[in-house]
Structure 1
Amino acid sequence: MFQFANKRFRALLVLILCVAILIVAGLSARAYLAANKDLQSTMPALGNVDKNLGIKPLSATDDTAIEERWGVRLQGIHITAAGHMLDFRFQVTDPGKAAPLVDTKNKPIVIVESSGIKLEVPNTPRIGALRQTSKQVKPGMVFTILFANPGKMVGTGQKLAVRIADFSVEHIIVGEILNTQLKTTKNNGQE
């Protein structure tokens, strides 16, 4: 009886310690961001970043130009995982043009437009990058990329920019559904 109680007590202590570490990490991230507002204001504006990279971003509302240039229809960015992740989705309309978006060599980033902060795709040792890929991309397939949202810094209604290789779209409003008339296909994109 005593050993069982001792094991339960140890498990409870480990749980309390883990929760405390998560709380301290979250508070530290918020304090760091609050203390570095001056640093954020000195970061280059998105227009300057784009000029330096030679990329001309398109607005998320310009559906036709995005589809013609990169062969995708954006579905939007939504908050998921209790606010700790951002779920970016797009549907492929032209596999040739969309190839750079699903190529694992191209690292996607999200930029918070108001601050210039860059958010990346988490890459865990066992699972790998939290992004969907496919060797056989077909029209109608929907792809998901999950971005980290440390300290829940991004909220609904904020504007973000997404960069993947030469793909550059800005003014994506978090939580807004884009392209509600997406093509639906049978068997998950296989016609």
Structure 2
Amino acid sequence: MKIDSSKDGYKVKQDDEELLPQGNPIIVLFVLLLCMSLLFFLTSSIAESAESPLPVKGAETGQKVVAKWKPPVAPKVTMPELVSDELAKEFADKWGIELISLRLTAAGYMIDFRFRVLDVEKSKPFFDHRIKPHLVVERSNAKLPIPMAAKVGGFRTTNRGQNIKPNKTYYMVFGNPDAHVKSGQKVTMVIGGFKAKHLKVQ
């Protein structure tokens, strides 16, 4: 048997049962649903704003224009010409090559020479393993040959396999002991009968 009491708004149950607050369960359920709806609306709005792309500045009103991301374009690096146009034409006509670059490498202890083959027959002296190319440092008259490794030989391309192709770039690597040649200094390149003076090392 239950005994009702209006004191402090509680229902008193017999046999010392717990005190329960009075209230309308429909109102409690409505408040709970309202809170859940508000939480769902906030989370969906945050997710939509994070996924939506940024509009392009200056787009016409009413039109949704999406700005597509593009990777930055790397600046084009151009190497300075090693020789004048007149000498370049002479080397191309006589030796069948185009000088591309002469620059320090390996922390300054080597000098990398790159050239492009224009005529395979005329350029054969550049690939003859019997010819020993070297650089002459103009300020000191020191000679810098191509290093020789025990197993791989000289640091250069040879034509032993008849693999030289036109319009292809090849290399030679000259030694630079004690970083003797610095960037900006001039050298003379000697490859058999070929000689190119006043080449600036980059």
Q: TM-score, normalised by structure 2?
A: 0.56
Amino acid at match of 1:121: I
Question: Once the 2 structures are TM-superposed, how far is the Cα of residue 69 of structure 1 from its aligned partner?
Answer: 1.1
Q: 2:83 aligns to what?
A: 60
Pairing partner for 1:107 from 132, 146, 153: 132
One-letter amino acid matched to 2:100: Q
- SS of alignment partner, residue 97 of structure 1: coil
Give, in whole Å, the separation in 2 of the partners of 1:60 and 1:133.
Answer: 24
- The partner residue of 1:76 within 101, 115, 132 is 101
* Unaligned 5+ runs, structure 1: 1-58, 176-191
Q: How high is the sequence identity, in percent, across the aligned residues?
A: 35
Letter in 1 for 2:114: R
Q: Secondary structure at the match of 2:100?
A: strand
Aligned mates of 2:91, 2:151 — CA distance in 1: 34
Query: d(CA) in 2 for partners of 1:128 and 1:72?
Result: 23
Aligned to 1:160: 187
Three-state SS of the structure 1 residue aligned to 2:121 is: helix
Structure with bigger helix share is: 1
Quote the Cα distance in structure 2 between the aligned partners of 1:145 and 1:111: 15
The alignment yields a C-alpha RMSD, in angstroms, of 1.2
Name the CA distance, whole Å, in 2 between partners of 1:136 and 1:124. Answer: 22
Q: Is there any run of 5+ residues in structure 2 with no aligned partner, and where?
A: 1-81
Distance in 2 separating the partners of 1:89 and 1:140 = 13
Matches within 5 A, 1:14-163: 60-61=83-84, 62-134=87-159, 135-163=162-190
Q: Is the 8 A contact 1:133 1:143 kept in 2?
A: no
Alignment partners' CA distance in 2, 1:143 and 1:114: 28
**Deviation at residue 136 of structure 1 after TM alignment:** 2.6
Which whole-Å CA distance do the structure 2 matches of 1:116 and 1:122 have between them? Answer: 18
Runs of at least 4 residues of structure 1 off by over 6 A? none
Q: Which amino acid aligns with 1:128?
A: G
Q: Distance in 2 between matches of 1:74 and 1:129?
A: 20
AA aligned to 1:133 is T
Larger Rg: 2
Aligned residue pairs total 117
In the TM superposition, residue 60 of structure 1 has moved relative to its aligned partner by 2.8
